[in-house]
Structures are given as structure tokens and as C-alpha cells.
A and B are shown apart, each in its own frame.
Chain A
């Protein structure tokens, strides 16, 4: 589904964010990308949807290479939830924000309504649909941002720090909602307990490189690897260690 081959990326200020990264993500799988701050997680997700120009290597979604000519098609298939929901929400009403994507894709009004209602239902935020996004709490904004992406009916979900801003109950609702979704998911997060609950595979990154790739429980119990990657054992595993 997602094929990333030997990609490297350097920001204009000279910061080398990614170095020769190769990853394959199978259709329908839930894959987490973890690592310390500055490991390159967010850059990796941004490159998949073509927010930065790829310098080296290649990214393919369903066999289609990410590039200028294919961006529209790629963005229809891949939904990206930003790290900060304030960057994503800008319309006057939650409902308008959720229908923004489907309207851009030129769907008929009935389909737009169906997609929006479905997204509101999945995230359990129907009661927020007439509210102004800037007046919502951080957690509510996060749920709206996810619903706005779900309304685009993508095949792949890229989630950047999806559990930040969420209270424990909202976090649990988020995990339950994600478990039910058949989408292929690539989740960049620091929430290792969420990875244990939701993901069948984890990729550990450090200074722009993939340092480990495997089952979450197995990798998280590797003390040396975790320490070298600037990570700590998840809370739920600390008592079982």
C-alpha cells in the first residue's frame, strides 16, 4: 500500500531530517512511527502527502509515485491529520470544516452530507457540528480534525500525534474508533501505550533513520534499543517487566 524507498530529506536550514529511509506498509495494517523529538516522524508523514519536495528516493501509494502530477490523486487516497488541530481547522463552523474536503473533491451534496454525518458519528461529535472550531477545547478540536479527514473517505490515514490534547476518555474513544476503521494507518506518536493498544507493528526512528522495525511489545522490551532511541518503556509494560 505504502512503499517508501531510500528517501532522504534536508530542510532549507541544512537540518537533515531523514536519511535513507525505507519502509513498506501493507494494506489495512496499523503501523506506528515512534522516536524522540526531531527523529523525523512528522517529516516522513509530510513527505508521503507531498507537503515537501522529495530530494532522494521514491514514495509510492498503491503503486502510484508521489510527485507533482499525482498529488491530487494521492491526497484523495491519503488523509493527513496534522499535529496541531488549529493548523487544520479554519472554517466558521465545525460542519463546514468537515465538509471542506469532500466539497473540494466535487462530490454531490447528498454524498457530502452522508460522508460528514458518518465522520461525525465515528468520532462521536455530532453535538459539536454547529460550534465555532476556535471555541472548542483542545481535545474537541483534535476529534473534529480527525473527523474532517475521515469525511474525505481516504484509504490511508496518516496521524501525527493523534492522542495529544485528548483526555483519558477521549483517548480511549479515539482508540476504539480507530480499531473499527479498516483504513491503513501510519501513526507518528510519543504515546507508546497507544501503540501497544492499536498497532501491530512499530517503526523506531532516531536522527532521521529507521533503527528498528517489528512487533511493539518485542521492541519496547529491548531496553538498550529504547535508551539509544531516546525512548522509555511504556507505562503499561513497566509493572510486567
Chain B
């Protein structure tokens, strides 16, 4: 299997997970979307030196992955793609802000290091939450909910078509790569001399393909307006899910849980 086909299968695998039938999959897409958005806002709202407050929020992704039967590996491998961006974004913090915040077992911990760790933790939490939502909700259902919360339809349609077209583009490139390698056995990649022609051909082929796909869509009544499949109407369980989790996030964020737990045990 070529690397490109392998990548295509990886991209599709998360979307395929959304066809599951667990309790989490059956929750109304809007309830999951509101919960995820609330989770993101709450996590991001922590001050840059607050780390301990973020730790309880890990319960959410761990619990959801268990309930939704989402393989940890598929979420963590995608998380690794996002982490380097925030790692390099926050790398300068320990250098620029070296003022000591506290001493931990004799080692001074700077405010810069705290903000760096905070960026990493926030990235892990937010990316995981979004991945969990995508892995448990079909793409067109998510798109429909985006339209319902007044995201301009043109953007949602662009997003949908980009996701769909990605498959087509990769399979086109994969066929070209296979044909190239079968006729240039000794070469490992594409020779620099052929790269221009290869990319040019890929552009022309994908353009032609896009046009044919568009014509096929028009033949089936597509008029520029994407008609999303309707999901089931919201049930009491969906409201309980959304309200219960949002309240928990609120408590985790604004109540000092460590103090409350400490007092309970102290008594």
C-alpha cells in the first residue's frame, strides 16, 4: 500500500468511527457541539500560569473516549500532529519570563515554564475534545449544526466539499505515484526533473476530476445549496448530557475543588 493511500485511510478512519452506535454516538450532534464549545471556552479561560486547575479537565476526554469506544491510539496519534505547533509557540516563554514562581523540591519553577506547560496542556485538552466530537458525530451532521448556529452556509459548504475533495485528490495522486514507481523501479521518490510535470499533471487531472464530480452533482439536482441530512430531534437525555457536563466544567473552573476536597478530608 502506498504511503498516500495509507494517509487517506488514516484521514478516513476518524470519520468512520463516527458511524458507531455507542451512547455517545447517539447523543444529539448539537448537544455534543455546545458541550465541546463550552469545554474549549472554559479551558482557554484559565490564566496562563494556572496549571493545577486544568488537570481535572482530563477526566472529560478520558471518560468520553471510554464511553464512545474511541481507540486511544487514533486520538493520540492525531494529537501528536498538533502538539509541535504549540510546543514551538511556547518554547520561548521559559527564557523570556524566568522569574521564579515557586520552588518545587528545591528546584525553582519559573512563570515562563508554567505558561509553557499551560499552553501544552490547553492544546492537548482542546484538540482531544474536538477529535472526540469528530469521532462520534458524522461530518454532515456537524456541518448541519454549524449552519444552525448561524455559521455562514458558504463557509460550511466549503468545509464539507474540501473534506470530500481531499479523498479524491489523494486517490488521484496515489494512482499517479503508483504508475510512476512501477515504471521507475530504482527510484525511491519522484525525481526532481519530473516533479514539475508530475505536479502539473496532478493539478490538471484533479481540476478535470473536480469538474466531472461537479457535473455529476449537478445531474443529481445540486444547485449550490448543500442539503444536509436531518438528525433526530433532541431528547431529554441530550439535554441532561449537555447541561450536566457544562455545569461540571463550570464547577471545575470556578470552584476551588482542591480546597473543597482538602476540607472534606481534613474534617
On A, residues with C-beta under 8 Å from B are 49, 51, 72, 75-76, 79-80, 82, 84, 86-88, 90-93, 96, 99-101, 103-106, 109, 130, 132, 134-135, 148-149, 152
Contact = CB atoms under 8 A, between A and B. Distances in A.
Contacts of A99: 229
Contacts of B228: 103
Given A75-B221, A92-B15, A96-B140, A104 B227 contact: yes
Interface stretch (B50-58, B118-126, B163-171, B194-202): B163-171
B213 A87 contact: yes
A103 B138 CA distance: 17
B150 interface: no
Contacts of A88: 213, 216
B168 A90 contact: yes
B184 interface: no
Contact of B220 (A75, A92, A132, A135): A75
Contacts of B229: 96, 99, 103
A87 B209 contact: yes
Instruction: Determine the interface band of chain B, counting residues with CB < 8 A from chain A.
Output: 20 to 34
B219 A87 contact: no
B219 A80 contact: yes
A89 to B, nearest CB: 8
Contacts of B221: 72, 75-76, 101, 104-105, 152
B193 interface: no
A93 B19 contact: yes
A152 B216 CA distance: 13
A88 B171 CA distance: 14
Interface in B108-165: 138-140, 164-165
B230 interface: yes
B218 A130 contact: no
Nearest to B216: A88
Contact of A51 (B12, B215, B223): B215
A134 B13 CA distance: 12
A116 to B, nearest CB: 11
Contact of A92 (B139, B165, B168, B215): B139
Contact of A75 (B8, B168, B219): B219
B212 A132 contact: no
A92 B171 contact: no
Contacts of B220: 75, 100-101, 104, 148-149, 152
A49 B218 CA distance: 10
Nearest to B163: A92
A2 to B, nearest CB: 16
B16 A132 contact: yes
A87 B216 contact: yes
Question: Which 5 residue pairs across A and B have the least CB separation, nearest first?
Answer: A104-B221, A101-B220, A87-B212, A103-B227, A88-B216
A174 to B, nearest CB: 19
Interface in B196-239: 209, 212-213, 215-223, 227-230
